[in-house]
């Protein structure tokens, strides 16, 4: 009987192992803002984890956070250094704004502490290189917080590409956007250069890049011609009730780029926090034997918006195969935490390794630099 190509996508990779709670992993939280809540909520689901410490630069914030999130007896610190110096930690979650990702991560690794680092990896390629060097020297685990990776639909997308059904991949269009979605949930840490370093490009652009680069095996980026703008963020009428946000807005709210990847692949990218359009388009992956369409979402945050469609020619007929979207019943954020904890306990491999994400960061950094220079640039990544 002829093979049904859809059968190839049925295999399910079980990653979550049985939990042995004999030994507790001692975790510290660096940065007690919005995303730290999700880290804590999911560490609390792990019977083999003890959250022992938390740090935040803002006086009183860590204490309030611990109370609000039901974690008691946690020792509190005014910054990452004092916490790491005073505690015997197995791991930290770096939940700070982007601009302090590198210093917190490097300090933890240099002190023999494993790190789960929130996305984007950092702000610049130089920082990413320094992080990778610290990781290598430490022999510790560093995983980057891309939870969409653990979504079953995202894994399916990778399996489709890796199965060879699309043939040789040569062109990718990716990105995503929001019509009105500049994030100011608890103030301005996402929109100020001094804290965020990057706007939409880093915040949600990193997800679009990871989606396609992970699917095709993270080829090395070679060159980039990038563009960024901030027409919405600089408009006081945008922020209802907070016109002053426009004064401090100092990052991009839109970015576009044309990127060349190793293997003669080109990547056409666009991302937006705000624009006069519903979506900047679906993600498409073109190969010599097939094409793939991945529907976008209205509020782009790295999730797949509908069934994947494969376009092929079969026996001379142009056909479309739709892969139904899976309702993933296990929480991707829990998987991100659980797999990191497992890796720490077993001294295993990072679930989302820096060796891949450094390419993601190199592209983001390349777009920002190229946009500043107004011309194409070569991406050069030093040996780690
Ligand atoms: N994975 C996801 O789904 C997701 C979602 C939202 C945000 N994020 C990422 O998480 C990070 C934090 O976002 P957020 O919304 O929680 O930001 P936030 O501004 O609400 O919180 C960050 C906190 O870090 C603290 N901080 C900064 N440097 C510090 C240091 N050296 N020591 C101790 N505390 C320090 C700040 O004082 C602040 O309270 C960002 O990089 C963002 O991109 C990820």
pLDDT per residue as tens, the chain (384 positions): 345 544 544 444 445 678 888 889 999 999 999 999 999 999 999 999 999 999 999 999 999 999 999 999 999 999 999 999 999 999 999 999 999 999 999 999 999 999 999 999 999 999 999 999 999 999 999 999 999 999 999 999 999 999 999 999 999 999 999 999 999 978 999 999 999 999 999 999 999 999 999 999 999 999 999 999 999 999 999 999 999 999 999 999 999 999 999 999 999 999 999 999 988 889 999 999 999 999 988 777 788 989 999 999 999 999 999 999 988 767 999 999 999 999 999 999 999 999 999 999 999 999 999 999 999 999 999 999
| Residue that the structure tokens 């990779």 belong to | 13
pLDDT of residue 21: 84
Ligand 1, residue 185: give the atom nearest the CA: 15
- CA dihedral angle for residue 147, residue 149, residue 152, residue 157, rounded to 10 degrees: 150
Residue nearest to atom 36 of ligand 1 (CA): 31
Query: Ligand 1: distance of its center to the CA of 181 in Å?
Result: 18
DSSP-based three-state secondary structure for 31: coil
Query: Ligand 1: distance of its center to the CA of 21 in Å?
Result: 29
* 188 touches ligand 1 (CB under 6 Å): no
* 56 touches ligand 1 (CB under 6 Å): yes
| Residue that the structure tokens 């990781």 belong to | 135
In whole angstroms, what is the distance from residue 102 CA to residue 80 CA? 12
Query: Ligand 1: distance of its center to the CA of 285 in Å?
Result: 33
Structural domain spans, the chain: 25-146+333-352, 152-327
Whose CA is closest to 277, among 245, 300, 310, 306?
300
* 335 touches ligand 1 (CB under 6 Å): no
* 97 touches ligand 1 (CB under 6 Å): yes
* 35 touches ligand 1 (CB under 6 Å): yes
Query: Ligand 1: distance of its center to the CA of 340 in Å?
Result: 19
* 34 touches ligand 1 (CB under 6 Å): yes
Q: Residue 15 CA to chain centroid, in angstroms? A: 19
The CB-based long-range contact list for 230-235 (8 Å cut-off, 24+ gap) reads: 230/199, 230/254, 232/180, 232/182, 232/273, 232/274, 232/275, 233/182, 233/191, 233/199, 233/273, 233/274
Residue nearest to atom 5 of ligand 1 (CA): 35
| 43-61 core/surface letters (b: 16 or more CB in 10 A; e: else) | beebebbbbbbbbbbeeeb
* 95 touches ligand 1 (CB under 6 Å): yes
Residue nearest to atom 22 of ligand 1 (CA): 96
Cα–Cα distances in angstroms (integers) from residue 48 to residues 42, 109, 337, in the given order: 12, 22, 12
Residue nearest to atom 6 of ligand 1 (CA): 35
User: What does the block give as tokens for 164?
Assistant: 């060879």
Whose CA is closest to 256, among 287, 234, 277, 235?
277
Ligand 1, residue 55: give the atom nearest the CA: 33
DSSP-based three-state secondary structure for 267: strand
Query: Ligand 1: distance of its center to the CA of 74 in Å?
Result: 19
pLDDT of residue 301: 78
In whole angstroms, what is the distance from residue 153 CA to residue 192 CA? 34
pTM of this prediction?
0.95
Q: Which one is the CATH code of 25-146+333-352: 3.90.1150.170, 3.40.50.720, 3.40.640.10, 2.40.50.140?
A: 3.40.50.720
Q: Tell whether domain 152-327 is in CATH 3.30.360.10.
A: yes
Sheet strands side by side (includes 25-30): 75-77, 49-55, 25-30, 91-94, 114-118, 142-145
């Amino acid at each position: 009987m002829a093979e049904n190509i859809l059968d190839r996508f049925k295999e399910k990779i079980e990653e979550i192992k049985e939990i042995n709670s004999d030994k507790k992993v001692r975790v510290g939280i660096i940065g007690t803002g919005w995303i730290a809540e999700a880290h804590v909520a999911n560490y609390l689901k792990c019977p083999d984890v003890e959250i022992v410490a938390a740090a935040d630069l803002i006086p009183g914030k860590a204490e309030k956070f611990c109370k609000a999130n039901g974690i008691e007896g946690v020792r509190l610190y005014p910054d990452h250094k004092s916490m790491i110096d005073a505690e015997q930690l197995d791991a930290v979650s770096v939940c700070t704004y982007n601009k302090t990702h590198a210093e917190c991560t490097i300090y933890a690794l240099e002190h023999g502490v494993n790190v789960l680092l929130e996305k984007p990896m950092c702000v610049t390629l130089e920082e990413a290189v320094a992080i990778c060097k610290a990781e290598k020297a430490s022999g510790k685990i560093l995983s980057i917080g891309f939870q969409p990776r653990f979504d079953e639909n995202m894994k399916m997308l990778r399996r489709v590409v890796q199965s060879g059904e699309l043939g040789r991949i040569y062109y990718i269009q990716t990105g995503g956007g929001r019509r009105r979605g500049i994030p100011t949930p608890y103030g301005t840490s996402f929109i100020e250069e001094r804290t965020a370093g990057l706007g939409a490009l880093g915040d949600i652009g990193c997800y679009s890049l990871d989606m396609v680069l992970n699917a095709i095996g993270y080829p090395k980026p070679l060159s980039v011609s990038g563009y960024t703008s901030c027409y919405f963020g600089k408009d006081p009428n945008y922020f209802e009730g907070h016109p002053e946000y426009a004064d401090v807005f100092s990052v991009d709210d839109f970015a576009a780029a044309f990127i060349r990847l190793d293997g003669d692949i080109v990547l056409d990218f666009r991302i937006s926090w705000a624009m006069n359009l519903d979506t900047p388009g679906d993600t498409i992956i073109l190969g010599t034997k097939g094409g793939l369409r991945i529907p976008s979402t209205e509020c782009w945050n790295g999730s797949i918006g509908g069934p994947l469609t494969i376009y092929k020619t079969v026996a001379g007929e142009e056909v479309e195969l739709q892969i139904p979207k899976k309702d993933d019943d296990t929480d991707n954020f829990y998987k991100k935490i659980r797999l990191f904890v497992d890796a720490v306990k077993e001294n295993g491999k990072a679930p989302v390794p820096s060796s891949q994400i450094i390419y993601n960061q190199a592209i983001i950094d390349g777009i920002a630099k190229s946009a500043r220079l107004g011309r194409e640039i070569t991406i050069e990544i030093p040996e780690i």
